[in-house]
Chains A and B, each alone.
Chain A
Amino acid sequence: MKHRATIRTVALLVVFLFALAVPALAQTPKKGGVLRVGMLGEPPALDAHWTTASITETLTNHLYEGLYSLDENYRPIPMLAEGMPTVSPDGLTYTFKLRRGIKFHNGKEMTSEDVVPSIKRWSQQSIRGKPLFALVEDFRAVDKYTVEMKLKQKSPIVVISLAVPGNFGAIYPKEIAEKFAPQIKATEYIGTGPFKLAEWKPDQYIRMVRFDDYKPVSERPRGYGGGKTAYVDEVRWIPVPDVATRVAQMETGEMDIVDDINIEAYDRLKRNPNVRPVLIKPYYWLVAVFNKKEGLGTNQKIRQAWQAAIDIEPIMKNVAGGRPEFYRMDYNLSVAELPEWHVKIPGLPWNERNKEKAKRLLQEAGYKGEPFRFMTTQEYKWMYDFALITKQQLEDVGFNIDLQVVDWATLVKRRNNPKEYDAFTTGIGMGAMYDPTHHDVVSCGWPGWTCDPEIQRIQSELARESDPKKRYALWEQQHRVFYEQAPVIRYGDLFGLRAIRSMVKGFDEKTERVRVYNVWLDR
C-alpha cells in the first residue's frame, strides 16, 4: 500500500517537473527556417522616403533603420543614434551622436556622410520630414560620428519626426541617397536592418534573408525598436490580394503569418489548434472628411447635423462583423494606446444620436435636399460598410446622399479637387497620431482642408510649445473646438485581424504593423 502511494507521488512529481520544464525548454529561440508572410498587396516601392503606403512601411522597417525608433509606448528611443540628442540651452541646436561599427548590407560602415544625404533626401519628399525641415536652418556632419541640426525656432517634434516608422528617415548609403532624386523612387536597396533584400519578384514574393553582420542595440526588444535578432534564415513576403485566399492559406499551412484578414474568419481560426488569431489594436478610427473649401461641406450647420444624426455603435458593430471585441467607442482624436495624448472630456457632441437635433440643424442650415456627394471605395471594405449605413441614417433625417463608390486610385485623386466631392471616407492610423502636429484631420493642407482659424491657431501653438503639460492642455482645447466645428466626423475605433501559426514564437502582438525580427519558428 505504502509502496503504491509512493510510486504514485513520485510519478506525479516527475510529470509535474516535466510539465514545468517543457515550456522552459520551448522558450529558447531556435535559429533557422523560412518564414512566409501573406500580405494584402504589393508595395508600390521599397524606398522608405518615397511613400506613406503601409505595406512599404512594414517591409522597409526590416531592411532599414532610422536614427530613432518607437518603444512599446510609442515613445522615441535611439536606434542608429547613440542616445538622445544633446540640445543647446536655446533649444535651437540638436547634436546627434551615431553608433559606431554599424554595417550596411554591402559591408560599408555607416557614418555621418551617409546620414546627412539620407535625412536630406527624406526631408524633401516625406510627410514628416518636410514640415520638420521647414524649421531647419542647417543639417550637417560635424565629424564621422556626429551630425548637427540647427533650427530656426524651437520645436517639440524633432525627435518624434525622426522616430516615426512610416515614411521614415531611413539611413541609406551616401551613394544611393545621392543617386536618386527625392521624387524618383530609389531602386537600390541597401540598409542597416536585420534583414537584407535577396529577391523581389513583383506580385509573387519578396525575399529577405538574415543580415549576419547586423549589430543590435544591446537591450531587450521594445516595440518597434530595442534589440532585434533575426532568428529565421529567410522571410518571404507574399502578396495575396484576395482575403479569403489569405485565410485559406493560413489554414492549410502554406503561410506562417497572414496580415489584414477579415473579421469573420476569427471564429474559424480560433478553433484551429495550429493557428492563433491576433487582434490588430489599434488599427484605424473611421472618419468622414468634409470638403471645407467648396460646396455643401462649407456649411457648419450641415456638418453638425451629420454629427448629431449618426448612431455610431450599430455602425461599428456591423463593420466589425458583429463582434464587440473588434471595435471600441471613443471620441478621442487619438487612441487609448497613446496615453500621452488621450483626453477625457465628457459632454462632447459625439454620438448624440439625436435625430431631432439633426433635423433642426439641417433646417437652420438652409439645406434644401441638394445631393451631397459622399465618396467611398470598396477596396477598403470597412470604408464602404460604414458609408452605406451612414447614408441610410442620414437619409432618415433628411439628407440626400449621393454615394459615389470608386476605386482607391480615383478617390485619392478626386479628394484633392474641391469641385469633385462633399465628403470622403478614410481611416486614421497610428502614422498620423504620434504627435498632435501630425494629425491630418486638423491639417489645412490635407484633403478636406481643415483651415478653420481657431483650429490652426492651436496647431501652431502645439508646434511651438515644448512643455508637455501645456501641450496636453492645448490638445484638450483642440478637442472642444474640433467637435464644435465638426470638420471631420469621427466614428469609433476599428480593430483588425491577423493570424499566426502556433509554431511561430516571439511575435510582438501589440505593434500596429507586423515585425518579424525576434520571431522564431518552433519546429
Chain B
Amino acid sequence: MARYLTHRLLALLPVMAVVVTIVFLLIHLIPGDPVSVMLGPDATEVQIEATRRAMGLDRPIHEQLLLFYSRILRGDLGQSYFLDRPVTTALWERAEPTLVLTFSALLVAVIIGVPSGILAGAYRGSLWDRTLMTGALMGVCIPGFWLSLNFIYLFAVQLGWLPAAGYTSLFVDPMATLRHMVLPAVSLGFNQSALIARIARSCMLEVLQQDYIRTARAKGLSQQAVVYEHAFRNAMVPVTTVIGITMAILIGGAVVTEIVFNIPGLGRLIISAILRRDYPVVQGVVLVTAAAYVLINLVVDMVYAFIDPRIRYE
C-alpha cells in the first residue's frame, strides 16, 4: 500500500510540471498586457513601454518562465500586477466563497442524489424508479448556468424570496451566507446530484444481484432490512468515490456559477484576472485549482485502492 502511494505521489511531480508549463505558456499567448489596462484608456504608447520596462514585463519569455519555476518551487506565486499584493494573499482572500459554494453544492448533490439513487435501485421498475431517473436525466441535460438564470428569475425577481446575487462572509453573518448560497448551491449541485443518483442506482442494482442478498432474502428478511442493512452499505462504497470526483468537477462548475451570482470567489477572480491580463493571478488560480483537482483524484484513487486490493497490484 505504501509503495502504491509513493509511486502515485512521485508520478504527481511531472504532471504538476506539465500543468505549470501549460499555464504559463497559455497565459502569455493572450494578446494585450496588464500595463495598458492599468494605465487607463488615454495612456500613450511611450508611457506604456516605460511602465512595462519598469515592471519587468519586457524580458524574453523563457527568462520569465524560469523565473516563474524558481518562484513556484519556493512556494511564491508572485505578485499580482493589479491588486498590489502577493498572489497567495489574493487567493486566500477569495478562497472562502468558492469553498463554501463547492461544499454547499456537494451537500445538495449528495442529499438529493444518494437517496434518490438508492431508492430507485431498491424498487427497480416502480413508479419511484421511473420518476427519479427521469428527474436525473433532466438534471444531467439542463445546463447549470441556464438553471441559475431561471432560478434568479423565479425566486429572486418574481417571488423575491432570495437575493439575486452576492455573498456575505460566514464570519460576518452566517444566516445571510445561507440565503445567498441557496440558489447557487442548488443550481450547481442539481447537475451533479443527477449523476450521483444514476451511479448510486446502478451500484445498488449490482449489489442486489449478489449471492449474499439472495441468501438474506431466503432467510426471510424483509425487503427493508435487505436494502438498509446489506445492500445500502455495500452500494455506498463506490458511491463514496464518486462523491470525491464530484468535488473535483464542482471546482470547474463553480466558475460559471460565481459569474452568474456575482460571488467574489476564485472563479470570478480568474475571469477578471484574464480580462486585466494579471498573469500572476491567472497562473496562481489555475495552478491551485489543478493541484486541488489532482490531489482529489489521488485521494479517490487511494480510497479505491484501499477498498479494492486488486488495483494495488497493477
Instruction: Give B233-263 interface residues, CB cut-off 8 Å to A.
Output: 259, 262
Q: Tell yes or no: A25 within 8 A of B by CB.
A: no
Q: Number of B interface residues, CB 8 Å?
A: 43
Which of A45, A184, A202, A414 is the one whose CB lies under 8 Å from B31? A414
> Digit string of B276-308 for contact with A (CB within 8 Å is 1, else 0)?
110000000000000000000000000000000
Q: Please tell me if the beta carbons of B37 and A183 are within 8 angstroms of each other in the complex.
A: no
* Chain A residues positioned under 8 Å from B31 (CB to CB): 410, 413-414
Select from chain B the residue with minimum beta-carbon distance to A204. B264
Query: Are A409 and B42 in contact, with the CB atoms below 8 A?
Result: no
Residue from B33, B50, B94, B165 in contact with A413 in the complex, judged by beta carbons closer than 8 Å: B33
Chain B residues near A412 (CB, 8 Å)? 32, 36-37, 41
The residue that B272 contacts in the complex, of A51, A183, A241, with Cβ under 8 A, is: A241
B166 touches A51 (CB 8 A): no
A44 an interface residue at 8 Å Cβ cutoff? yes
Stretch at the interface among A8-16, A152-160, A247-255, A453-461: A247-255
- A-chain residues with CB within 8 Å of residue B94 when the two chains form the complex: 203
What 1/0 mask marks residues of chain A from 190 to 202 whose CB sits below 8 Å from any chain B CB? 0000000000011
Chain B 38-89 residues near chain A, CB threshold 8 A: 38-45, 47-48, 50-51, 53-55, 80, 82-85
Residue of A nearest to B45 (CB): A416
Say whether, besides A202-B83, A202-B84, A242-B165, A44 and B40 are in contact (CB < 8 Å): yes
Contact between B39 and A204, CB atoms less than 8 A apart: no
The SS class assigned to the A binding surface is loop
User: Cβ of A432 < 8 Å from any Cβ of B?
Assistant: yes
Within 8 A of B (CB), among A46-94: 50-54, 56
In the complex, what's the smallest C-beta–C-beta distance from B278 to chain A, in angstroms? 10
Which of A50, A184, A379 has the most chain B CB atoms closer than 10 A to its own CB? A50
Residue numbers in B under 8 Å from A413 (CB-CB): 31-33, 36
Once the chains are docked, how many angstroms separate the CA of A245 from the CA of B276? 21
Among B32, B45, B94, B156, the one with the most A-chain Cβ atoms within 10 Å of its Cβ is B32
Contact residues in A for B47 (Cβ distance below 8 Å): 125, 183
B48 touches A416 (CB 8 A): yes
Interface status of A187 (Cβ within 8 A of chain B): yes
CB within 8 Å of B: which A336-386 residues: 379
Asked, given contacts A203-B83, A245-B262, whether A409 binds B276 with beta carbons under 8 Å apart, the answer is yes
Contact among A51, A183, A241 for B54, CB-based, below 8 A: A183
Asked if A233 is at the interface of the complex by the 8 Å CB criterion, the answer is no
Bound complex: CA A414 to CA B45 (Å)? 11
Q: List residues of chain B with CB within 8 A of the CB of A138.
A: none
Task: Give chain B residues whose Cβ lies under 8 Å from the Cβ of A446.
Answer: 42, 44
A240 within 8 A of B: yes
Asked if A431 lies at the interface with its beta carbon under 8 angstroms from chain B, I say yes
CA distance A319 to B313 in the complex (A): 66
3 closest A-B pairs by CB = A52-B40, A44-B38, A202-B83
B residues with a Cβ closer than 8 A to A are 31-34, 36-45, 47-48, 50-51, 53-55, 80, 82-85, 90, 93-94, 156, 163-166, 259, 262, 264, 268-269, 272, 275-277
Given contacts A44-B37, A183-B54, A184-B55, 12 further A-B pairs with CB under 8 A are A167-B40, A183-B53, A248-B163, A248-B164, A248-B165, A248-B166, A252-B163, A379-B275, A408-B37, A409-B37, A409-B275, A412-B32
Can you pick out 17 interface pairs between chain A and chain B where the beta carbons lie within 8 Å of each other?
A44-B39, A52-B40, A52-B42, A183-B50, A184-B54, A184-B55, A203-B264, A204-B93, A204-B264, A241-B268, A242-B165, A242-B259, A248-B156, A407-B275, A412-B41, A413-B33, A416-B45
